[in-house]
Chain A
Amino acid sequence: MSIIKKLALAAGIGALLSSAAYADLSGKVIGFSQIGSESGWRAAETSVTKSEAEKLGIDLKFADAQQKQENQIKAIRGFIAQGVAAILVAPVVSTGWEEVLGEAKEANIPVILLDRGIDAPEDLYLTSVASDQVKEGRVAGEWLVGQVGDKDCKVVELQGTVGSSPAINRKKGFEEGIAGHANLSIIRSQTGDFTRAKGKEVMEGFLKAENGGKGICAVYAHNDDMAVGAIQAIKDAGLKPGSDILVVSIDGVPDIFQAMVAGEANATVELTPNMAGPAFAALDAYLTNGTVPEKFIITESKLYTPADDAQGEYDRRKGLGY
């Protein structure tokens, strides 16, 4: 993807989110302490944050913490010393932030948390921008309810890493989404560790255990990568993913849109990598006229199906570093 296309894309995303003018952020220095590059989604978040900042004329100081809190604390102290206008942090862990955020508060620098919360007094940060993981699961569940109507539907679930908050919340949300519809039931649920390889392996097991997959009407995966793995397992078993077995998952990574184009995936709930857009908007309002934003800004959990221009969505995303 060319630079021009990237910029055009960034402008497009921004235009959707911003109605206010950002005159005040132009030329400001803002620090961004990113966790690292643990996943494709995070790489996309980094590139979207950079392009958002570029579009608004912000001088973004980017610090990659390589999955270590001590690096994040160092980076934040560095930002404070430089006297930045604001700090964005995607916190790697939830505890141990009181001291350094206290220092930022003393220096009168607003801090905005991106995509993860922390265990610290709420007055230490301006706001936190994150998705509602329970809602993501619920949206997926409700889509399936609408899709199958009154028919009986046995669902198999590919969970994320055991004990991780997205796995717990997306499971809970999906169960809420299908609650009250007795024709839908989750018959098997196992962890696929959020990876393609494990998603495929677990799905292979499910297919064997459920009479070659004939008893399964849908698979719900806690992320798209596991769904991509499951799709391959379904194909290997001689069934058609997308029609014999419905595939619904969460995240909205490029490859799931590619699967939709091929008719092998049915729906995904987007976890937007654009956490910075709402963050900059809140910051702008705060710096311009002192409007204190809500403490928890929830990003939209948008459902995409093949009808939503899957090819276009794929093209839009593939250059973001997923």
Chain B
Amino acid sequence: MKRKNWRGALLRPQFAALAAVLLINWLLFPGFFDITLQDGRLFGSLIDVLNRGAPVAILAIGMTAVIATKGVDLSVGAVMAIAGAVAAVLVTGGASAIVAVGAALLVGLLCGLWNGILVTYLEIQPIIATLVLMVAGRGLAQLVTEGSIVTFSDPVLIFIGTGSLFGMPMPIVIAAVLTLLATLIVRKTALGLLIEAVGVNRSAARFAGISSGLLLVLVYTFAGFCAATSGLIVAGDIRGADANNAGLWLELDAILAVVIGGTSLLGGRFSIPMSVVGALIIQAMNTGILISGFSPEFNLVVKSGVIILILIMQAPITSQWLRARTSERKAQ
């Protein structure tokens, strides 16, 4: 039974899409799957896909939980900018890296808490509640950095963005650990079920004895934490906090990753690992476009075309049609 589940999971359209995108990349650039060791660190296009996809994957982990509760968090890109700004300003001001990282993560948690309170206790619609921080948050980040790019040379912060553990770039390690932990926590406890219950029907969940308010606040706070983690990675990667551009529009990529991963925007059923796969599909596409040599005017058109194809592949109508055809063939 278990085994069949695994096989079924691997046959999901998301994996087919990821394989197809990677295959196209390989056709465009035969060295795509080459991986070498460079200065004790794995180096290759496939590693790039994982490494560059990590920030969005981490955002998508938090975003999945939020979307599963029928919410959405538009502020994650701005929270990334704030977290990066806070960390950069603290280390350049002489604070230790531990303090800077701790403060950045704390700020992320507070931003998430703020969203959660707006959504839960003030009952503002999530899209509006988080829009507030999406707009104001970037301004806050700019206030922290005073509008300029704050560069730092702190080895710990840089390590978060560009270091490596056992040859694996740190962003990949962090994303993998977070994915694993988050999945275990929601699937090995009742938490996942509770989140789904709140997402399907908040009132019904409350009547069933779930403290849905607390759960919602928790979910948004977690999304804030994920965003801050992503923000630290992005800042460490360029050795500076770019308040104007860090995380810009990444909330949309995160939402897209969740949707590609098959989580419904209407709440309920969700899968964190599949959202991470969604993030990797997006990044595989981005990397493919970069190495393909197309002129940049085509970037967005190609990207949207591929996304439409992926969404069509996963649409219920497509799977129904496929099922009908296979059963027809069997009947013959």
Q: Which of A39, A162, A209 contacts B297 (CB 8 A)?
A: A162
Tell me whether A321 and B146 are in contact in the complex, defined as CB-CB below 8 angstroms, given that A38-B244, A205-B290 are known contacts.
Answer: yes
- Chain A residues whose C-beta falls within 8 Å of the C-beta of B48 in the assembled complex: 201, 204-205, 208
Q: Which of A233-247 contact B (CB under 8 A)?
A: 236-238
Spot the interface stretch: A9-17, A94-102, A187-195.
A187-195
A208 touches B245 (CB 8 A): no
Q: Which of A168-201 contact B (CB under 8 A)?
A: 188-191, 193, 195-197, 200-201
- Chain B residues whose C-beta falls within 8 Å of the C-beta of A238 in the assembled complex: 38-39
Q: Which of B39, B45, B238 contacts A208 (CB 8 A)?
A: B45
Q: Which of A202-237 contact B (CB under 8 A)?
A: 202, 204-206, 208-209, 211, 225, 228-229, 232, 236-237
Determine the main DSSP class of A at the interface with B: helix
A-B contacts besides A200-B238, A208-B291, A209-B293, 20 pairs, CB < 8 Å: A37-B142, A38-B244, A43-B146, A159-B296, A162-B297, A193-B245, A195-B245, A197-B234, A200-B237, A201-B48, A205-B287, A206-B290, A208-B45, A209-B29, A232-B162, A232-B239, A236-B41, A236-B43, A236-B162, A322-B149
- Chain B residues whose C-beta falls within 8 Å of the C-beta of A225 in the assembled complex: 149, 242
A255 touches B149 (CB 8 A): yes
- Chain B residues whose C-beta falls within 8 Å of the C-beta of A202 in the assembled complex: 290
Interface string of B27-46 (1 = CB under 8 A from A): 00101000000110101110
B52 (CB) vs chain A CBs: closest residue: A201
Tell me whether A322 and B293 are in contact in the complex, defined as CB-CB below 8 angstroms, given that A205-B287, A208-B44, A236-B162 are known contacts.
Answer: no
What's the minimum C-beta distance from A317 to chain B, rounded to whole angstroms? 11
Counting CB contacts under 8 A, is A40 at the interface? yes
Q: Which of B41-65 contact A (CB under 8 A)?
A: 41, 43-45, 48, 52
Tell me whether A196 and B299 are in contact in the complex, defined as CB-CB below 8 angstroms, given that A208-B31, A208-B48 are known contacts.
Answer: no
What's the minimum C-beta distance from A227 to chain B, rounded to whole angstroms? 12
Q: Which of B130-174 contact A (CB under 8 A)?
A: 142, 146-149, 151, 162
B38 (CB) vs chain A CBs: closest residue: A238
A321 (CB) vs chain B CBs: closest residue: B148
What's the minimum C-beta distance from B249 to chain A, rounded to whole angstroms? 10
- Chain A residues whose C-beta falls within 8 Å of the C-beta of B31 in the assembled complex: 208-209, 211
Q: Which of B257-309 contact A (CB under 8 A)?
A: 286-287, 290-291, 293, 295-297, 299
Q: Which residues of A contact B (CB under 8 A)?
A: 37-40, 43, 159, 162-163, 188-191, 193, 195-197, 200-202, 204-206, 208-209, 211, 225, 228-229, 232, 236-238, 255, 321-322
Counting CB contacts under 8 A, is B116 at the interface? no
What's the minimum C-beta distance from B300 to chain A, rounded to whole angstroms? 8
- Chain B residues whose C-beta falls within 8 Å of the C-beta of A39 in the assembled complex: 244
Q: Which of B29, B41, B45, B296 contacts A190 (CB 8 A)?
A: B296
- Chain A residues whose C-beta falls within 8 Å of the C-beta of B242 in the assembled complex: 195-197, 225
- Chain B residues whose C-beta falls within 8 Å of the C-beta of A159 in the assembled complex: 296
A40 touches B149 (CB 8 A): yes
A237 touches B38 (CB 8 A): yes
What's the minimum C-beta distance from B217 to chain A, rounded to whole angstroms? 31
Closest 8 CB pairs of A and B: A205-B290, A191-B296, A196-B238, A209-B291, A37-B147, A195-B245, A40-B148, A43-B147
